[in-house]
Amino acid sequence: MLYILNSIHLRFIVIAIALGLSACGSEDSAAPETGASAITFNGLWTGITEENITAIVEVPTFLLFDQDTVYILREDEAQIGTYEVAENGLIDLDTDVYSYANPDTDNNFFIGVDSTQNLTLSALIVTEEDMVINYNTATRAGRSTLALDTGQTASITTSNVAGAWKTTNSTMQISSAGIFSGWDANTSCQWEGRLSSLNSTLLRLNIERENCTEFNINGTQNAEGIAFIDGDSILHFLALDNNDFLWMQFTEEGTTAAAAP
């Protein structure tokens, strides 16, 4: 059961957290207004989701706030949507579920398609570095326990990502100017594009892909998104194109992938 704080204590905590996390967010902006609807949250959170369908399963989970958008990234699906702070101090997340038809867990490449399923979640920031989320529908129920990723690369630039990156079967090179080119040796899937500055913790992503089983975009059309490096030095690419969502993860050449959160 979620505990509801009294209104005076709640206002202090919510505003304090919003101010504290704004340095990790998608814009280096002034302090948010104090009205509940004006509060924005920022930062990357990682942890585990326990979901009870026919049995309890545990799923590693990333949650990213980017201005008024929230991304919930899991190995079985992605949830993308918006959020607002309710009068009782909880954070209401209104998300669309993007289902993976062919998740590539060997390389950590995931392509999601909007399933038209909507999922409403209720989040509580317990402390500045701890969050819990509940959801309960006619077909599924679960709880996420997340911690703020304080190791996420701050003051990120294209120089931070320059070099060679890899997955199990693929390689990618990024220049200091943010131009990248990669390919998967097993499937011959190729991608290229550019990273550019966005804010202190995120890079702007423009990506083309071709000869891939899903999410092929080339020619004059690019998919747009964001990129970031988490506290385990994993480089993440996130991009949306109409009803399709792309999530790719890479480790630096010469390093071993960290365990899931």
User: Final residue of a domain: which of 117, 148, 179?
Assistant: 148
Question: Phi and psi at residue 198, in whole multiples of 5°?
Answer: -125, -55
- Tell me, yes or no, whether 1 lies in a domain: no
Structural domain containing residue 82: 7-148
C-alpha–C-alpha distance, residues 102 and 113, integer Å: 11
- Tell me, yes or no, whether 79 lies in a domain: yes
Residue with token string 């943010």? 178
Query: Do 123 and 171 share a structural domain?
Result: no
Query: Do 56 and 166 share a structural domain?
Result: no
What pLDDT does 1 receive? 39
- Tell me, yes or no, whether 167 lies in a domain: yes
Q: For 15-74, write each residue's pLDDT tens digit.
A: 344 434 443 444 443 333 333 344 668 899 999 999 987 788 999 999 999 989 999 999
C-alpha–C-alpha distance, residues 42 and 184, integer Å: 33
- For 255, left (φ over 0), alpha (ψ -120 to 50), or beta? beta
Report strand pairing: 163-166 vs 77-85. Answer: unpaired
User: Final residue of a domain: which of 88, 122, 148?
Assistant: 148
Q: For 203-212, write each residue's pLDDT tens digit.
A: 999 999 999 9
C-alpha–C-alpha distance, residues 63 and 96, integer Å: 14
What is the three-class DSSP state of 78? strand
Query: Do 172 and 89 share a structural domain?
Result: no
Span of 87-91, 149-153, 193-197 with lowest mean pLDDT: 87-91
Query: Do 108 and 44 share a structural domain?
Result: yes
With a cut of 90, say whether residue 6 has pLDDT above it: no
CATH number at residue 138: 2.40.128
Query: Do 165 and 117 share a structural domain?
Result: no
- Tell me, yes or no, whether 153 lies in a domain: no
Query: Do 177 and 131 share a structural domain?
Result: no
What's the domain count of the chain? 2
- Tell me, yes or no, whether 62 lies in a domain: yes
Query: Do 166 and 96 share a structural domain?
Result: no
| DSSP designation for 169 | S
For the ranges 12-16, 35-39, 239-243, the maximum mean pLDDT occurs at: 239-243
C-alpha–C-alpha distance, residues 41 and 20, integer Å: 9
Query: Do 104 and 204 share a structural domain?
Result: no
Query: Do 236 and 172 share a structural domain?
Result: yes
What pLDDT does 88 receive? 83
Query: Do 43 and 126 share a structural domain?
Result: yes
C-alpha–C-alpha distance, residues 125 and 42, integer Å: 12
- Tell me, yes or no, whether 23 lies in a domain: yes
Query: Do 118 and 29 share a structural domain?
Result: yes
- Tell me, yes or no, whether 2 lies in a domain: no
- Tell me, yes or no, whether 84 lies in a domain: yes
User: Final residue of a domain: which of 92, 126, 148?
Assistant: 148
Span of 48-62, 141-155, 233-247 with lowest mean pLDDT: 48-62
C-alpha–C-alpha distance, residues 154 and 143, integer Å: 29
What is the number of other CB atoms lying within 10 angstroms of the CB of residue 19? 12
Query: Do 112 and 229 share a structural domain?
Result: no
